[in-house]
Amino acid sequence: MVTPLPVLDTDPDPSFAELLAARPHLEMHAFDGLVMEDVPLARIAEVAGTPTWVYSAGALRRRARALKAALDGAGLRASVHYAVKANSNLAVLRVLAAEGLGADVVSEGELRAARAAGIPASTIVFSGVGKTERELRLALAEDILQINIESAEEAGMLSALAASLGRTARVALRVNPDVDARTHAKITTGKSENKFGVAIDDAPALYARLATLPGIEPVGVATHIGSQITSGMAAYRAAYACLAELVQALRGAGLPVKHVDCGGGLGIPYRDEPAPLPEALAGAIKTTLGPLGLPVMLEPGRWIAGPAGVLLASVVLQKQGAARRFLVLDAAMNDLVRPAMYEAWHGILPVSPVAAASPLTPADVVGPVCETGDTFARGRALPSLTPGALVAFLDAGAYGAAMSSTYNMRPLAAEVLVDGDRFAVVRDRQGFDEMLAGQRQPAWLGNPQP
């Protein structure tokens, strides 16, 4: 049997300068090194330690406004509901709430976080394929804007619950348009084999049934075809065309449709891949759904929060292996799981201006966790770095802290918000006592031996 040769990626990585040029909230200063807005990252590491997530309030605001401007520019009546799962830090949510964004939540925890951050219930959408009765009860009690139903079974559950509570749930039907968003298989959600939504062919009958169920008011249709979509607008257009046709059929049957929920998924360039701008998404919505004359909703997560954050880490040591140089960091896959989970590429910048200008040689950048998968990058051009040197992982503002765990009994990292020349720790690093706090010893195990 012939073993195929590995495909060599000959496309050189973008330079530090190229990475920075595309991220206006970050700059390399000759004296202060890598700076976010007006705060040197080295200063944050001094105060908060590492690993630490650092978010730029300015970048969050700028991105929220750019997205809204693109929708306005296309003449759409649109509301933006930030997908809380991308980054659920309360300070981040508050910055976005102040920009007038609503929320898209997928759990009781996210609904509570959104409310705690002051996001009005009247702007919150609840998505997800397995909302529990307890979660639906809370959504009804809060009287949130909309619950996106993903199955006939869920519709039945919600109807019974709402009727028993004397409430009416505003419901959108999430449709699975069976289009391939051509993103990573683990974050594709709009194919017929995925667990999400109802088949487009079943949608008209189910929508008609929703209109007859007690406690339910059908208000629209929804879709969400995947995340980190960078392959152009074809998949979006196909999905939205499918929704437009469905809405026309529903209207033809005399059923009320008040708005269309377009989901999220807009991708960002992590490396230098071409990624669509919000103007392109707005255009795709306009050409497909525009003729319906209905307000639309968007649920972006990654596009808003991803580029706004970095993960700040320290070098534990530099190890010369038999075949390669390893940079071992104090951050690991339990902090930033995307490389291990999705083979994701993240820019990695030295924070010191001297290091950033030093000669580059290939290094494997790894964490200390006992898994080979705990590898952030292979053969990455980086300077020689001494223990304690700082590095920043770019575009770690979405699906970073939100996906982290305590694997290997490593505490959850601290989180910091930068706003102009100010910064604040917005989540303390988890303490070791806190990590053990919920554990209880059954009496029959006796007392631990000292």
CB of 195 to ligand PLP, least distance (A): 11
CB of 448 to ligand PLP, least distance (A): 43
**Residue 209 in marked binding region:** no
The residue to which tokens 């699975």 are assigned = 176
Choose the catalytic residue: 17, 30, 370, 437: 370
Please answer whether residues 353 and 32 qualify as being in contact, where contact means their C-beta atoms are separated by less than 8 angstroms.
Answer: yes
Of 139-147, 149-157, 261-269, 439-447, the window that binds ligand PLP (rule: CB under 6 A) is 261-269
**Residue 299 in marked binding region:** yes
| Nearest Cα residue to 124 out of 136, 109, 142, 141 | 142
Q: Rounded distance, CA 76 to CA 67, Å?
A: 12
| Nearest Cα residue to 87 out of 393, 391, 427, 435 | 427
**Residue 301 in marked binding region:** yes
Which is nearer to ligand PLP, 266 or 284 (by Cβ)? 266
Residue 242 annotated to the active site: no
- Burial of 126-165, coded b for 16+ CB within 10 Å and e otherwise, reads bbbeebeeebbbbbbebebbbbbbbbeebbebbbebbeee
What is the residue type of 375? T
Q: Which of 190, 264, 339, 400 binds ligand PLP (CB under 6 A)?
A: 264
Which is nearer to ligand PLP, 183 or 314 (by Cβ)? 183
Q: Rounded distance, CA 60 to CA 53, Å?
A: 14
Which is nearer to ligand PLP, 305 or 327 (by Cβ)? 305
- 88 contributes a contact to ligand PLP by CB under 6 A: no
Site for ligand PLP in 110-169 (CB under 6 A): 127
Q: Which of 58, 102, 220, 265 binds ligand PLP (CB under 6 A)?
A: 265
**Continuous segment of H or E residues that includes residue 16:** helix 16-21
Which is nearer to ligand PLP, 345 or 423 (by Cβ)? 345
- 410 contributes a contact to ligand PLP by CB under 6 A: no
**Residue 302 in marked binding region:** yes
Q: Which of 25, 259, 302, 338 binds ligand PLP (CB under 6 A)?
A: 302
| Nearest Cα residue to 408 out of 345, 302, 331 | 331
Answer whether the bond into residue 353 is a cis peptide, omega within 30°.
Answer: no
Please answer whether residues 171 and 218 qualify as being in contact, where contact means their C-beta atoms are separated by less than 8 angstroms.
Answer: yes
Query: Active-site residue numbers?
Result: 370
Q: Residues marked as binding for substrate?
A: 302, 338, 342, 371, 399
> Which residues in this chain contact ligand PLP in the complex, by CB under 6 A?
83, 85-86, 104, 106, 127, 224, 227, 263-266, 299-303
